[in-house]
Structure 1
């Protein structure tokens, strides 16, 4: 099993010049907040070494820049530049969707891999069964109504693909314990309701912004069966909501019953950082309440430097020593 981590250095002058040049040509989602550095990336590697030493490879996906502190000779580290695996017609890209929809092209990537964004950290022990059981991603298909948000169009596009190929009734019928599972706790009620009243179509799934166990095979199937959708989504230089994202890969596995039932809420928590919750998030990290945490850069965060230092100090309590991934 491999880990895949995507990263960007917004201070790289060459990257910044290219970014600004293409930004002038688009009105898509290219906010600077999506790229600003929290200076905490080294803690991600310390978490992997300390809490997941069993991982086979760490594929570090980058535009081309590499942190000065990174030990590029670490035997488990595979540095992957965008030009190494993303088709030339999609480059350069500043779009995480383009990157994630093409990860199956990374040479040597295991069929079973866990995708991390650079704001998702391991803060306690995990093992292989946290992410995969008998070759299936650990997940839970919590059905929910389709809600209106900034991501609505993207999620709708994902669901259009899924409902084109799968019937929810058949998914329930084939493996009911995947959908009505005691480990899901209160979420069982939601699945019972939406299965009874909305039988044919998957309206929407609850998403968890955490480490995402993924199958390379699933991406290959999507490119084979939905080439135009995947191709058109990958062409976008910046995140565009009128595309699919990597949730289409997750939804495909859920709708096809290619997953192992697991209560994801017990594995990790996601936080959108703002000026009011930073102390609670820091406390969560230091207490190691759950093994995985996402500390997402919030749009309403004004005191960036203060919040950044608070989070760095919290991680520093857990990871006071360098890992072998660092020089």
Structure 2
């Protein structure tokens, strides 16, 4: 008799091979957030708004299922599942927040990732949960209470600290281990998600109070955040690492799309600011590269960095402003001879940094023991001690 666990894993594997499934469960958390009055005025750009609104926080689940048969996929069918007319015709009235989260400690998920990615490409720390989501949510309540709804894209999992009786049950999963693939489908979020939303990885948290105006002005023209690093199509591709190569490749695609040769600035890794009208515009004009990225279950050299491309579309089709530099503090927890010293230095840097809007704690340690885990927990608790209503 075939072992049940083996059968389940084999079934998952077959489903992954036959179908590229994007099943997104969106959770609106019970954090008692009340949105302030937002005065909108008309504008001539893609983000034009005309309505006034005062909106209270709602508690509900939103699901959207999208299935694409990868054997029959064409260049035209990726962007069919959502009727975009309502999105195009409506204006921003408030700002939502979207997260992606996965419990990388799930044994079945670890096994599946190993099979899909292969041992040489499998890096457990990329999927490990070190408590970032819990404290990021607390930071939203503390520093960004004007956000109306919070949505979490999850992998059919519930955090151990989450109060499942508060919002309901989670019954869906994300069969991809490539964040670029997930983000390439943001144009297709359910209609319930606001046209204007912020996106955070679960390793990013707010470090100081933020206003809606830090991301969208009163007319919902957006702010873009960039780093000083630039990319040109003329750069010698083979001289750069895999991370930077995707920017060179993407810059060349943009030059070809718009028949120009242009140096472009890389995006910051903190809060990513999105307008769904522009995402849909990307889906229309940049269809083929996005289709390829959406189909990649793991990171590939032909991936499109969504935030980078998005910023270029904003600059081309929308009114915008550029946020102040160094708004995000990036902490890379990379292996050293003494990881305890590394974590202590990182914690000291976080505590001493007073100007950053957000902090990203990127887990790159091969192994986190109880000592390091406790140090991180102590840091987070010192910054965000108030337990949320969505926590047990």
Normalised by the shorter chain, which TM-score bucket?
0.7 to 0.9
Q: 2:108 aligns with which of 11, 14, 31?
A: 14
- Residue 204 of structure 1 and its aligned partner are, at CA, apart by 3.4
Q: Are residues 1:250 and 2:311 paired?
A: yes
Partner of 2:390: 325
Partner of 1:218: 278
Relative distance call for 1:308 and 1:166 in structure 2 (3 A) is: farther
Matches within 5 A, 1:83-232: 92-107=175-190, 108-133=192-217, 134-140=219-225, 142=228, 144-146=230-232, 148-166=240-258, 201-232=261-292
Query: What CA distance in whole angstroms lies between the structure 2 residues aligned with 1:21 and 1:35?
Result: 15
Query: What CA distance in whole angstroms lies between the structure 1 residues aligned with 2:305 and 2:274?
Result: 13
Deviations 1:121-159 (A, max 9, x none): 112211111212232231256563547232133112321
- Residue 55 of structure 1 and its aligned partner are, at CA, apart by 0.5
Query: What CA distance in whole angstroms lies between the structure 1 residues aligned with 2:287 and 2:252?
Result: 14
Relative distance call for 1:161 and 1:257 in structure 2 (3 A) is: farther
Point out the more displaced range, 63-72 or 209-218: 63-72
Partner of 2:99: 5
Partner of 1:237: 297
Structure 1 regions of 5+ residues with no counterpart? Answer: 84-91, 168-199
- Residue 296 of structure 1 and its aligned partner are, at CA, apart by 1.0
- Residue 277 of structure 1 and its aligned partner are, at CA, apart by 4.0
Q: Return the structure number with greater relative CO, CA threshold 8 A, min gap 6.
A: 1
Structure 2 regions of 5+ residues with no counterpart? Answer: 1-94
Point out the more displaced range, 122-131 or 144-153: 144-153
Partner of 1:304: 368
Greater C-alpha radius of gyration: 2
Relative distance call for 1:71 and 1:105 in structure 2 (3 A) is: farther
Equivalent residues of 2:156, 2:170 under 8 A apart: no
Partner of 2:51: none
Deviations 1:236-267 (A, max 9, x none): 111112221212222322344542222141x3
Partner of 1:88: none
Relative distance call for 1:66 and 1:204 in structure 2 (3 A) is: same
How many residues are matched?
A: 281
Query: What CA distance in whole angstroms lies between the structure 2 residues aligned with 1:257 and 1:35?
Result: 35
- Residue 287 of structure 1 and its aligned partner are, at CA, apart by 4.5
Query: What CA distance in whole angstroms lies between the structure 1 residues aligned with 2:345 and 2:316?
Result: 36
Equivalent residues of 2:267, 2:311 under 8 A apart: no
For the aligned residue pairs, the C-alpha RMSD in angstroms reads 2.7
Any idea what SS the aligned residue of 1:273 has? strand
Equivalent residues of 1:95, 1:236 under 8 A apart: yes
Alignment TM-score, normalising by the size of structure 1: 0.76
Query: What CA distance in whole angstroms lies between the structure 1 residues aligned with 2:98 and 2:359?
Result: 16
Any idea what SS the aligned residue of 1:205 has? strand
Any idea what SS the aligned residue of 1:144 has? strand
Point out the more displaced range, 136-145 or 43-52: 136-145
Relative distance call for 1:233 and 1:261 in structure 2 (3 A) is: same
Any idea what SS the aligned residue of 1:151 has? helix
Q: 1:70 aligns with which of 150, 156, 162?
A: 162
Q: 2:360 aligns with which of 280, 290, 294?
A: 294
Relative distance call for 1:204 and 1:261 in structure 2 (3 A) is: closer
Query: What CA distance in whole angstroms lies between the structure 2 residues aligned with 1:223 and 1:121?
Result: 29
